[in-house]
Structure 1
């Protein structure tokens, strides 16, 4: 078992979860111990708070913090950026790894805000399951449904957690109907609340019929005390509230809403748990469900459709680039998801895009912002490769047996702004910073001969991406910038032969994206229609990769 010790922030730094001590157990055995999942939700559903609570219940941290504006509160481990802590929202994805019940949990926290959807979608490519967090008072919200659609498209099994049951909210049966009607999944509750939303006393364990009663912890910083009572003791203690919960649970059983593992893994049903992440109740049950029900890593399809077996030689793909985590060294971390074989620090893999060797001398495991050196990793694990300047998001690394995984999606930007350095004397820092933000996927960067390198165009899915870029340029790269918003609202892919004709159109501009795609920017959809009328054979396609 890993040996843990708390660091200066109260985080238990785990050692040995992916060390050489378990090297001899074999790749297949180690892969079977892995559970890699993401938490998805609409903003403010409690996603980062749940992430923190999961780490607390697994004893990976000693005290939980949660997001709010009150001074003196600790911030969650996953929300480490200054802007995240100031605003109380997740801006970037974060990776946490910890052990629970001899299982290695790889938890990827995702940005909740719609402006950072692209980052979230990339994270979903690196997991084997997802937890869909639903606000008890609001039900399924717009961003949750968008992310659900991605999970469905990718065949990612979903576990649903109804959060904030300690606050007034919707009727539990009505929520089950909404999940069924809007997602097409059959909700199969594993627990059922005792007490209406706002009067959360505990849950019925539907598998055993027992009552799991909880006592809220002070401020939610520690694990909430709970006790398990049999049905008779529960009835004597709670009276009609218990009777109502049991009747509703029986009604679910009669309607076929009981858990079935096969239908869950097939994406037909979703197990449901009721919880209060901020009170740290119902979280332990989620950890058990992840270990008992969530899938371990499976063979992954390559770009040519062939499957890379779990015990094939090492392979992985880059799903995220992140700088600014270590302010002392200002290095850059490329996050890879191991897909097959054994990763060993120092191994020389091949970068599929170039065919060139790539040395993995500096390999680390991230726990929020904290990082520790690791020597080995297995399928399902997330590894941070330090200063991988040759790597890009979507790249494949492999050993011995060649493989290339499909590219990650690039979203259609809807917001555009010209960026310029405020201080011409810091042009070197300006270029370096813009290149870094582009490599990380913080924003898309568009260029043209007309605008030149001193005034590239930033393209974003949402305007908050501009705020992040502006903040990081000033604080990390010491090159404050000015942004001039452009009137364009959409982009379409085109080809070089149509560049001159489209540039001649009013309200249209063609620019080159860093991945080599030519994007035609339009002021509105009317301009697109006008260009097509003027040039019936023009090539204009949505700029979204599959």
Structure 2
């Protein structure tokens, strides 16, 4: 297969959603249809003893939520699919934001009972920053939910994007019969099954066909005819170009847990979703077809295998062919790097590969050389643009409860911060360590992982802080004077950048007014 064909057969996307919308369950069913797994588990069902494939961390199994992005690759109808399942919980939003830099499109899951929720709106804003194409999957049609037309209106209003239904539900809740594929004009009937696929399809070129009445019954058949006529009259024809430009979102209905409507979406997705797209660096645009290799690190995870204390960096390939054992330029680093263990992923499971192509996500075993945002190339000095760290919302001081385990604690904190779990600030005065997060739950995760992965015990003491502000000045003398005068409030982030830790909003404003020559930034990239 030619290099260009390898690129065109790839689809790299993320699944995003509000917590409990059914995102991880949908991931399972996509893997099931792709033949990557034979049996799917349900995230919170006690009746099923198989844990979901993408939630593999111990704390995820206990809490029933995703706290880290999982990467899964599989083939479906000769298309190589790279799927990233992201955390839905808002406390882990930064991991999701970073993941969205590494994908070419997105599937957004919406609960038909709850509709569009706050976190979904925030995620859509991040997608809009990059004009990322979005497909909506309205889930849980096996429950009594809201009217499909009302849901479509809400998606348009709250997410500020035009929609075009490409499948339509027949009934809802207990009377849910299946879905009609508007894109392929096929009626799909399913037997509810959480673990196995059961798939019957009937093709209808014309919905006046009497077979429809015999299959669905007169009332459901008539309702479907009315709905389809209304949809085709109200919504313009689906335009793939508008979808690829992020202007219109195709909508599919279904029930992920019962395998309703998932296949329709997957079949359409591989036909319309974009192949790997160009990426911007600080100096130029990089196209996938370029001969020279380039890629960037968007995620780092330590201890994926509890039996082997390893650290894996997730690399998105942007151009060229990536080859195992070949030396590559680490743009930020002092020397070239060679990767002998290059892996593709099925969540926790990994396999060694010799080569990979644009769009692929590969894992690089790392001893601490790499960090999030790093660019790796064949030789060119360039840096891919990414989403920076934002100022945290909650701050806690790290209290070490076992002085004999100080080294383990320091190593654990360093690695977890490099993963992007949270942000670490070390005060110049007293060397106090402060962890900043966007949500309370992250502290529980850090505490849990330090104990279970590094055998270090910590507590977190509340701190009265409002904002972490990265500071700089064109006048070095003025900056030095500011740091000296505010020494008690000066810290450094994990990269050694100067940070002013403001206690209140009003005090920050006063300091900004008093020191006009100092620039205060609320993100780490400026």
Q: What TM-score does the superposition give when structure 2 sets the normalisation length?
A: 0.94
Residue segments in structure 2 that go unaligned for 5+ positions in a row: none
Tell me if the contact between 2:301 and 2:312 (Cα under 8 Å) persists in the aligned partners. yes
> Which residue does the alignment assign to 1:4?
none
The residue that corresponds to 2:234 in the other structure is 255
Alignment-derived partner of residue 42 in structure 1: 18
Indicate which of 211, 234, 239 corresponds to 1:233. Answer: 211
- In structure 2, the CA distance between the partners of 1:44 and 1:273, relative to structure 1 (3 Å rule), is same
| Distance (Å, rounded) in 2 between the aligned partners of 1:103 and 1:252 | 30
- Determine the C-alpha separation between the residues in 2 that align with 1:316 and 1:350: 11
Residue ranges of structure 1 left out of the alignment (5+ in a row): 1-24
Question: For residues 314-353 of structure 1, what are the structure 2 equivalents within 5 Å?
Answer: 314-353=293-332
1:259 is displaced (CA, Å) by: 1.5
Of 308-317 and 266-275, more deviation after overlay is shown by: 308-317
Q: CA deviation at 1:108?
A: 0.3
Deviating beyond 4 angstroms after TM superposition, the runs of 4 or more aligned structure 1 residues are: 496-506
Matching residue of 1:512: 492
Q: Name the CA shift for 1:387/1:400 in 2 (closer, same or farther; >3 Å).
A: closer
Structure 1 position 271 matched with structure 2 position 245: no
**Distance in structure 2 (CA, Å) of the matches to 1:208 and 1:32:** 22
Bigger mean CA deviation after superposition, 227-236 or 173-182 = 227-236
User: 1:432 and 2:398 equivalent?
Assistant: no
**Aligned match of 2:440 in 460, 463, 469?**
463
- In 2, Cα distance between equivalents of 1:223 and 1:129: 26
Q: Distance in 1 between matches of 2:367 and 2:146?
A: 48
* Post-superposition CA distance 1:18-46 (Å, at most 9, x none): xxxxxxx2321101110000001111100
Distance 2:113 2:359 in 1: 34
Instruction: Check if 1:154 corresponds to 2:127.
Output: no
Q: Please say which of residues 158-167 and 531-540 is displaced more in the overlay.
A: 531-540
Please state if 1:170 is matched with 2:146. Answer: yes
After superposition, the Cα gap between the structure-2 partners of 1:46 and 1:371, relative to the gap in structure 1 and judged at 3 Å, is same
Q: Give 1:336 shift.
A: 0.2
2-side partners of 1:499 and 1:281: how far apart? 63
CA distance in 2, matches of 1:210, 1:365: 35
8 Å contact kept, 2:428–2:492: no
Q: Structure 1-normalised TM-score?
A: 0.90
Q: Deviation per CA, 1:60-90, whole angstroms, max 9, x where unpaired? A: 1010011115265322111001111111100
In the other structure, the counterpart of 2:3 is 27
- 1:126 and 2:105 equivalent? no
User: Whole-Å Cα distance in 2 between the matches of residues 509 and 186 of structure 1?
Assistant: 47
The alignment partner of 2:175 has SS state of coil
- Closer, same or farther: CA 286–210 of 1 in aligned 2, 3 Å: closer
How far did 1:460 drift?
A: 1.0
1:188 equivalenced with 2:168 (yes/no): no
| Deviation of the 1:235 alpha carbon | 2.2
Alpha-carbon contact 2:278-2:285 (below 8 Å) kept: no
Distance 1:505 1:197 in 2: 61
Q: 1:362, 1:386 within 8 Å by CA — same for their partners in 2?
A: yes
Shift of residue 136 of structure 1? Answer: 0.4
- Measured in 2, the distance between the counterparts of 1:295 and 1:74 equals 33
Q: Are the structure 2 counterparts of residues 245 and 490 from structure 1 closer, same or farther at C-alpha, using a change threshold of 3 Å?
A: farther
Per the TM alignment, residue 234 of structure 1 is displaced from its structure 2 partner at its CA by 1.8
Change in Cα spacing, 1:137 to 1:427, as seen in structure 2 (3 Å) is same
Contact 1:40/1:130, CA 8 A, preserved across alignment: yes
SS in 2 for 1:540: strand
Q: Is the 8 A contact 2:138 2:252 kept in 1?
A: yes
Counterpart for residue 509 of structure 2: 529
Match of 2:106, SS state, is strand
Q: Relative to structure 1, is the Cα distance of residues 404 and 206 closer, same or farther in structure 2, using a 3 angstrom cutoff?
A: same
The aligned residue for residue 72 of structure 2 is: 96
Q: State which of 86, 99, 114 in structure 1 corresponds to 2:62.
A: 86
Q: Kindly indicate whether the alpha-carbon contact (under 8 Å) linking 2:240 and 2:272 is maintained by their aligned counterparts in 1.
A: yes
Verify the 8 A CA contact 1:366 1:384 in the aligned structure 2: yes
Q: SS of the residue aligned with 1:397?
A: strand
